[in-house]
Structures are given as structure tokens and as C-alpha cells.
Structure 1
Amino acid sequence: MLNNKINKNFILKIIDKDLKNKKYKKIHTRFPPEPNGFLHIGHAKSIYLNFEIAKIYNGKCNLRFDDTNPLNEKKKYVTSIKKNIKWMGYKWNKKSFYSSKYFKKLNKYAIYLIKKKVAYIDQLSKKEIKEYRGTLIKKGKNSPYRNRSTKENLKLFKEMKNGKFKDGEICLRAKINMKSSNITMRDPVLYRVKHSFHYKTKNKWCIYPTYDFSHCISDFIEGITHSLCSLEFLNNKELYKWILKKINAKNYPKQYEFSRLNLEYTILSKRKLKTLVKKKIVQGWNDPRMPTLSGLKKRGYTPSSIKNFCKKIGISKKNNLIELSLLEHCIRNDLNSNAPRFMAIINPIKVIIINMKKNYNKKIIVQNHPKNKNMGTHKIYFNKIIYIDKSDFKEKFNSKYRRLALNKEVRLRYSYVIKAKKIKKDNQGNIIKIFCTYDKNTLGKNPSNRKIKGVIHWISKKKSITAKFQLFKPIFTIPNPENKKKFLKYINFKSITIKNGFIEKCLLKNKFKNFQFEREGYFIIDKKQSKINKMLTFNKTISLKEKKFK
């Protein structure tokens, strides 16, 4: 029944058992985001789980927007969410669904609960409701409005709907048990007044159901079989069942909880991410340093790398902090197989070949990928003036240094062996030029009479163009900023570095999206920044080797 697309976990075992016992004919899951922000890597785990389960069992997966809070929800978030899910490679069942489409039905169910005497209109303030609810060690107490008559409750609920009350003046609560050990069951709010414009229903409603009330009923209306959510909703499970039982729902879905994703050096709270955007600590929801899917895409992450990451972390009931290096391993592994190799100089210094004629221009054909000939080839040119990286030259040589140094040799990648003869410095003592000779008998081979240890990358000045490179570090300085109330205290204000350098000119005609710049890392073109900077701008996706963070 299972394939190898997803690790076998406790949820799949439950589904296997349900199908074996013929509890369901078809499996039906859903991904239910609230459109109040962009999707992030934590949502990717839920997307992967719900859509892959639908694939595995030949079932269905709905995309439903739980849009019951008009204050924070916007159409632009709906658009971005749909775009992200399509980018991940998933298709939802039929059209997309919205909790707001069920407002009429939800309103009728609320009236039904009032008539059933298990819901009442409360006029305590928000602060008073919190005080009456109690704490984990202190039991709650009944609202003075709890025993209103059904007639009065129906009248007040109708007046709520008709806009007679202001925000926060009145609400509809479930009548359950104010002494319950589960605080969620202490007469939770089902409906509240919000005189706000809703991106979908406009100004048609001024009362809105809470998430707890709408979510379970929406699952029931859509025929969801397994309602999968993160562990933070564990205490809501009892309320989920209570509501569905009280509205006489038959064959209603069951809720199952799994651990949410917690990632090192990252926050995944949409509220906190929104703070980063509002305070302009980042350039927007799709900033390459953000853990949003849009940000990861802009940084060069691929759908397959994110899916592989979700597969590797698995599904369990235990919360833990996932190492950032695992996510980086997944993208590095993907790009190693699929990204073509080019050369770029990020910290350039000029090299002049003094024993070469001015017009000498040697064309060299190199593979785009050393292990994949189908990716084709491109041309590089060796001539009198080239650029190398500043870090690849030292004035004074030591035995551990395997790059270019005065009176020492090094091999240029795909090209010749060169030897540094002299240097030129500016008034501040900085090296600005290196004068070298080249051994014309070493193209593609080592000299027979000596051993050349180092290999460095380079670019011809004639066949290069200027480019900008955006290099990134984690946006937080500590491994677990999510646990800190004052999380802004741990912002890494040096999380982005911009370098000016050169790339191979032939790259302009290339149609690849991701690139490996040899010895530098994996990069992707930032189209928006390229327009702003009026030159090609690259975002660094990841280094070639795993880095340790401090």
C-alpha cells in the first residue's frame, strides 16, 4: 500500500488500519492555511504530509483558506500561498476552498447550538473572560450571563449579526465546563463581533466564527477523513470532537497531531516574521534570508530539496530543534547534481601575464557539468589579463598554502600553470596587480619535471562582465530565537554582505536557473535586484561545504 515517497510514520499506520477495517473508502486530507502571511518552511512540512498522503493512497487533498479573521487576512496572501503550493509541485482537489464560503452554514450551526442550550451569549469583556477562565492551577467560574434563556440568546445573537454591538462588547460561547482540566473546554468563544472589511465577503458580515468553531465544521462539510495538525492544537482536539458531536455530525473526521517544525537560527511564527517585515529588518516576505517558501525560492532552494528535507525529518509526536545543516545538505545535494559549473570572481585582483603576446586569445571548451554531458559545454578564454580571487594570493609563501605566492606556481582551472613574479601595491600598501608568467606547455597537463599542488579559478578580463553577489548568514545569532520573548535582541545585522566582482560573459546566454560558481558555492540570479542594480545580481544559495555557525 505504501511507496517510498514518504517515511512510514504513525499517521500512515493509522490510515492503513482505517482502510483495512474499511472505515473509509477514500482518504481525504486538507492543507488549511490562514491567509495572514506567506507560507514558510514549517508549512512545507504540512503541505508535504497532506499532499503526499493523498498521492500515496490515491485520495484527495483540499486547499482550504481558514479565513475567519478579517483583520489580518488579505488577498495577496491567498495569491502567494497558491503560487507556493504550485511551485512545490502539488495540485489541490478541484477548486480551492474557503471557510468564509461556509459562513451561512456556520451561522445556522451556531443557532442550532443555542437552541440545544449548549451555547450562550456572553457580555463579559475580553479581560473579564480571561479572569473568569482561571489558570492551570485555578479552576474557572461561570459567567453571570451563562444561564440566559434560549429566547434571549437567540435575540442577542441576531442583534450581533445585525450590527447592534461594538467589537468586544458581546460574543457567543459554548456552554461546556468552567472547571475542566483542559482550559480550552472552559466555555470557549465561538463567535465574536468584528466590524471589519473581509477580503472575500466584503462588508456582508460583522460577526465571525472563531478558528476552533469553523475549522472542525469546515473539515466535516468537505468530507475530510484525517484532520492533521501540529501539536500546538492538541488541547483543541477535545473541543474539535465536542463541536462535531453537538451539531450531530455523522462520520466526522478525526484529528491527529504531529510535531511542528523548529529550525535552528530561525523563527517560524508568522507574527514574528511579520515584525521583521514591518520593522524593515528584511526587505519583505520574500527576502532571501527569510524562511518563507518565497524567500527560499529567491535564494535558490528547489522544491525537490525542500521535499527531501521534509522526508528526512519525518513525522513524529516529539518536538525537537532541527539542525539548519540538514536543510542545507538537502539543497547542496540537489544542486550538486543539477547545477552547471561556471567561474565567478567575487573578490577580484588583476593578474597580468607578462610572457604572453597582447593579442593572444586561447579558446578552451569545458563541460557545464563534470558528470553530466547532456548539460552541454561552454567556452572560456585565456589571454593576457585575467582576474583571480584576492584570497588566492599571498605575498609570502608557507608550506600549507597551496595557491599562488611570489615565485611559486599554481594551476588555473582548465588552463595553464602560472608563476607570480612581482606585484604592485597602492599607497596604502594593498596589492592591486600581480605579474605572472605562464607555462605554455601545461594546458590540460602537469609539467613532467615538477609537481603543481594548487588549483584556483579565474576569469578573462576580455570575456567577463561585472556582477554583484549577495552573500547571506543566518538572520539570528542564537540557535533557538523562537524561544526568546525579546527575539529582536538576537538579530544578526551582518546577515547580508554585498560583493562586486565578475562572471563569465557566456553566462548571459545561459538558460540555467541555478549555478555552481567553482570554489565559491551555489548561486541563483536575483532578477529584481538585477533590475535595480542595472547589472546581474546573484544570491548565494549555499556554500560548497558545510559551515559551522557561531
Structure 2
Amino acid sequence: MKPTDNNNFISKIVKYSILKNPNRKIKTRFPPEPNGHLHIGHAKSICLNNNIANKYNGTCNLRFDDTNPRNENAKYIQAIKKDIKWLGFNWYKKPTYTSNYFDQLYQYAIQLIKKKAAYVDELNTNDIKKYRGTLKKPGKNSPFRNRTVEQNLILFKKMKNGTFPEGSMCLRAKIDMKSSYIILRDPVLYRIIFSKHHQTKNQWCIYPMYDFAHCIADALERITHSLCTLEFLDNRQLYTWILEKLNFNKIPPKQYEFSKLNLEYTILSKRKIQKLIDHKLVSGWKDPRLSTLSGLRKRGYTSNSIKTFCRKVGVTRQQSLIELSLLESCIRKDLDYSSPRRMAVVNPIKLIITNFDHDYTEYLDVPNHPHRKEMGYRKILFSREIYIEKKDFCKRSIAGYKGLVLGKKVRLKYAYTIRANQIIKNKNDDVLCILCTCYLNTKKKNILLKKPCNIIHWISKKNSTKTQFKLFDVLFTSKNPEKEKNIVQLYNPNSCIIRTGYTESIVDSEDIQRTYQFERIGYFLKLKKKNKHNMLVFHRIVSLKNKYKNLIH
């Protein structure tokens, strides 16, 4: 497997550290919290950490940051493992959990208390926030800051034993309430949570904060390079302070930050995704409109396209909003080579070729792939009644229109040139069908015409299978929904449109689940199960064009 980016600044840092200490084994880690499914932003981190380890003959740990039992669930652990393996990576030995170190973390907290570097505070959450101050205003000391070591040890033990209710007490680091880094203004290290833990059950009722547990777990696992996103830049100050106070001085792990992934029309915040689920705007973490890895997989994205995308995005310290078209181009390129071509009509209108007999049929040989002869040919049926897309017919000529127009000619792909003569409607003025003439001397050619005709796709009624198409669009109307306060109001009601149309009959008999390029429409994934009406179901993975506004609706 090729590294994500051989020349990124993280790789250069690692290379330099090896030159300084050639005998030190490189160790990275991927530390997800099991409170939801992984998303494409996590894929960037997975690729970076694993590729760094692979490049320098090191190892990459999978460590579950399970320090908040109220938000976590064992089912997410299994989902995360599945996603990592789907991407083509594995972890060193067996996964670890921060909860593996709860006993040690508790002892390290006691060490800080004994060093007068931590104290038990009785301020509530709101008061702690008020006392902390702002970027312009220094914080002020808690009235409980100067308790004796003995008092703090007794209270901390009582916290552990469940003597106090939630929110009544916490353990805080004793650093500097006037520090220019707000993170160093006596951050909370432990809080009380009476909730069953998926690993330790009811053994604990106090849980370490991420900033306290993370750096110690890194040190215990001998991680060399702790890679995280820029939102944790200031947290590095606390990361270093804790390790120094606890005498992890020999060769401590070091934290390095890179820019997080921001993708157009997408949210990657697990909290906000959960909000969409709670409002029933999406069906769950695996909804194909989400950029979770399980959602992208369900939609039809390949692991290779995700890794290609991460490689193209690169690893920098510059925050930017990545264009959705980059992700779409990666999946198009990946599917273009492997996907057989078929014809499908998503939003059909019927044509009747009046100069054909009712029982007229003809078989045409067409390629399964325009550039891969080894994929062979198939026969498609041409007959008196065919379906075309509604958008490919117009009553009157419009500038730039390339479909079939009443009184004008168009060529049917792989077949003949036809002319639209008459529209047949019902009593409600709905179009029932279009009566056409076929020019039999124009098979696969534009001969005997003053100028070449435009080409449209079609399906014979006799060679069609009724099919349901799920046409996915962007989930939000805003290009950068992460910056908006109310994402629910930005929800795109047209993010999933369901159409009933037709595919070639051969599709029904082919592999249970595979991807196709439906000519002139896009790439689609055939689902394993049919719907309740016994129709095939297809997810549109991506259109053939870059701009989502050009999708068929």
C-alpha cells in the first residue's frame, strides 16, 4: 500500500526524528471515541497514521478513547473496526482501550495531588467557566484551590467510592489561572459520572478527561508521534505539562497537529450528525447521504476512492474547504475502469415507432465497456416501443437543447435516427407517448443527414425491467454547513429523490451487488435486496458531471 503523501511535513518530522534516534521504533496510533461511526475526516487520519508507520517500518495502534461512558456504545467499536478493515488497514496486535489504563490513571492523578499539582474542586460547571476568564480577561482562583494534600486525597478517594453526586466535585490540575493559554487555567482532569461503562461495567464512577488520559496512554504505549488535528494545538501545552509532571521525561511522545478535513456541503461533527438522526432527517449513521465511511460504502463508494481522495487532499497545517468535486472525481475514476456499461431510463416517457410492425424486433451488439474489449459485447433488443428520458424530449426547439424535439431528428445510441411526429395525450392532458418515425438506413451512422444528430439513450419495452432509483444529492443547501448554527434549517429536502424507471433486463440476472455506469446518467450501485414491490433498487453513487445541480431529478 502506497503512503498517503511521501513529502508531507509530518513525514519530514518523523524522518528527522529517526536521524536523531535511529534505534527508536516509530509508533503512531488512531484513537477514535466509540460514540458514533467514522467519517471521511477519520479516513484522512487513518491513512496518515498507518502510512507513516508502514513507511518507516513502525506500528500503528488502534486505541479506543472510551472515557465518557454516557456517550459511548460497544456497537460503535465493531463499526469502527469494520471501517478500518474496509479501508485496507489493520492495527498492531489487538486494539487497546483507554479504560485498560484506568487503574494507572487513577494512581497518576494521586501523584499529581501529592505534588500539589492537582486539587478537588467543588465549583459547578458554570462557575468553573466563569472563573476561567476569557482571552482578554485572566481567570481567578477557585476558593477550593488551596486545600491541603491530605484533604484532596481524602476527597478524591470519596469521589472514586461514589460518595458525591455528579457535578458536585471534580479533580482539576493546579497550573496557572492567568495563563495566556486558557487550556492551562486549571483544567478538569476527572469528573463524576454514574453510568455503566461498556468495558469496565460499574467498576468506576469517576472518569478521566481526554486531555489527561490521552497523553498518558500515549506514553504507556510508547507512541512516538501523536498526530491530531489543529483544534488540539493549544492542548499540546497541557499534553506536555502532564507528561513532565509525571516524569515521563526519558523519551516522551510528542504531539503534532495537521489541518482537519472540511468538505463542501458536508458535516463531519458526530454531534451534528446525531442531531440529524434525532430529527429523523437521515436514517442513521449509515445513511448514503452522509460522509460517514459506512454511509459512503452503502452509497457505493470504494475504499480505494477514499484513499485516493485523502492522498490528493494531502497533509498540511492550512485550513481549507475541499471541493466536493474532488471526492466525486476520485470515485468516477475508480469506477470508470471496472464498471460495465448498461442503459437505464430513470424518468421514462414512451416512444412508439409507427413505421415498425407490432412484433418487430432486432438485436444489436453493443460493447460492455468502450475501452476494455476484454469485457466483451452484449445483445440489446430494439423494438417498436421504447423508453427514453423525459428530459430528452421537448415539444419545441430551445437554443442549446440536444434531445428529441417534435418535428426534429435525434439518434438513438447504438441504433437508428428517429423523428418525433406527434404527441399522444390522455383526457387530463398528460403525455402518454410520442409517435416517431425510424430511418432504417441510419443504423449506427449519421448518413444521409445534412448535419449530425445528437444522441440519446433508450431501452426497449420488451427488454426492460422495472427499477427503483434512489438519486442522492447534497444533504445541505449551504456550501459550508459546519459554520452555520442551525443545520436543520439548511437541510436539502431534495437530497434523496426516488424514481421508478427501467433498466436492461440483463441487469436482473447479473451479480447480486455490483456497480454499473448507466450511460449518460452516472454510476449506480445495485442493492442486494429488491424492494417490497419486487423491483430492483439502485443507489446513484455519482453523476457523470461534476456539478451536483446537473443531476437528474
Q: Output the TM-score relative to the length of structure 2.
A: 0.95
Residue 479 of structure 2 aligns to a residue whose secondary structure is coil
Separation in 2, partners of 1:464, 1:290 = 32
Match of 1:524 in 2: 525
- Where does 1:137-152 land on structure 2 (aligned, <5 Å)? 137-152=136-151
* Contact 1:18/1:24, CA 8 A, preserved across alignment: no
Separation in 2, partners of 1:549, 1:359 = 41
Residue 482 of structure 1 aligns to a residue whose secondary structure is helix
Post-superposition shift, 1:525? 2.5
Match of 1:20 in 2: 19
The amino acid across from 1:219 in the alignment is: D
The amino acid across from 2:525 in the alignment is: I
- Where does 1:182-193 land on structure 2 (aligned, <5 Å)? 182-193=181-192
> Is the alpha carbon distance of 1:174 and 1:402 closer, same or farther for their aligned partners in structure 2, counting shifts above 3 Å?
closer
Separation in 1, partners of 2:162, 2:339 = 59
Match of 1:204 in 2: 203
Deviation string, structure 1 residues 125-180 (Cα, Å, up to 9, x no partner): 11221122111111112222222222222221111111111111111111111111
> Is the alpha carbon distance of 1:29 and 1:375 closer, same or farther for their aligned partners in structure 2, counting shifts above 3 Å?
farther
> Is the alpha carbon distance of 1:464 and 1:212 closer, same or farther for their aligned partners in structure 2, counting shifts above 3 Å?
same
Match of 2:113 in 1: 114
Match of 1:343 in 2: 343
Deviation string, structure 1 residues 499-549 (Cα, Å, up to 9, x no partner): 110011101222262211111111112446x44553222121211111165
Separation in 2, partners of 1:125, 1:399 = 68
Post-superposition shift, 1:188? 0.9
* Contact 1:262/1:321, CA 8 A, preserved across alignment: yes
* Contact 2:285/2:295, CA 8 A, preserved across alignment: yes
Match of 1:29 in 2: 28
- Where does 1:362-511 land on structure 2 (aligned, <5 Å)? 362-397=362-397, 400-448=400-448, 450-511=450-511
Separation in 2, partners of 1:137, 1:399 = 61
Q: Is 1:356 aligned to residue 356 of structure 2?
A: yes
Post-superposition shift, 1:451? 4.1
The amino acid across from 1:149 in the alignment is: T
RMSD of Structure 2 on Structure 1 (CA): 2.0
Deviation string, structure 1 residues 470-489 (Cα, Å, up to 9, x no partner): 11222211111211222322
Match of 1:94 in 2: 93
Deviation string, structure 1 residues 2-21 (Cα, Å, up to 9, x no partner): 97642511111111111122
Aligned residues: 548
Separation in 1, partners of 2:74, 2:413 = 51
Moved more, 496-505 or 433-442: 433-442
Post-superposition shift, 1:234? 0.6
Moved more, 57-66 or 207-216: 57-66
The amino acid across from 1:514 in the alignment is: T
Separation in 1, partners of 2:202, 2:286 = 31
* Contact 1:300/1:524, CA 8 A, preserved across alignment: yes
Q: Is 1:515 aligned to residue 516 of structure 2?
A: yes
* Contact 1:133/1:140, CA 8 A, preserved across alignment: yes
* Contact 2:465/2:508, CA 8 A, preserved across alignment: no
Separation in 2, partners of 1:247, 1:398 = 76
> Is the alpha carbon distance of 1:490 and 1:452 closer, same or farther for their aligned partners in structure 2, counting shifts above 3 Å?
same
Unpaired runs of 5+ in structure 2?
Answer: none
The amino acid across from 1:413 in the alignment is: K
Deviation string, structure 1 residues 65-90 (Cα, Å, up to 9, x no partner): 10000010011111111111111111
Deviation string, structure 1 residues 45-78 (Cα, Å, up to 9, x no partner): 1111111112222221111110000010011111
Post-superposition shift, 1:336? 2.1
Moved more, 105-114 or 61-70: 105-114
Separation in 2, partners of 1:376, 1:428 = 46
The amino acid across from 1:355 in the alignment is: N
Q: Output the TM-score relative to the length of structure 1.
A: 0.95
* Contact 2:134/2:182, CA 8 A, preserved across alignment: yes
The amino acid across from 2:520 in the alignment is: R
* Contact 2:2/2:51, CA 8 A, preserved across alignment: no
> Is the alpha carbon distance of 1:24 and 1:318 closer, same or farther for their aligned partners in structure 2, counting shifts above 3 Å?
farther
> Is the alpha carbon distance of 1:69 and 1:487 closer, same or farther for their aligned partners in structure 2, counting shifts above 3 Å?
same
Residue 356 of structure 2 aligns to a residue whose secondary structure is coil
Match of 1:215 in 2: 214
Deviation string, structure 1 residues 286-312 (Cα, Å, up to 9, x no partner): 111112111111222211111111111
* Contact 1:351/1:388, CA 8 A, preserved across alignment: yes
Post-superposition shift, 1:285? 1.2
Match of 1:326 in 2: 326
Identity among equivalent pairs (%)? 55
Match of 1:273 in 2: 273
The amino acid across from 2:269 in the alignment is: S
The amino acid across from 1:507 in the alignment is: V
The amino acid across from 1:436 in the alignment is: C
Deviation string, structure 1 residues 113-133 (Cα, Å, up to 9, x no partner): 222221111122112211221
Separation in 1, partners of 2:237, 2:136 = 19
> Is the alpha carbon distance of 1:148 and 1:4 closer, same or farther for their aligned partners in structure 2, counting shifts above 3 Å?
closer
Deviation string, structure 1 residues 372-408 (Cα, Å, up to 9, x no partner): 2233433311122211111222233457443323333
Match of 1:283 in 2: 283
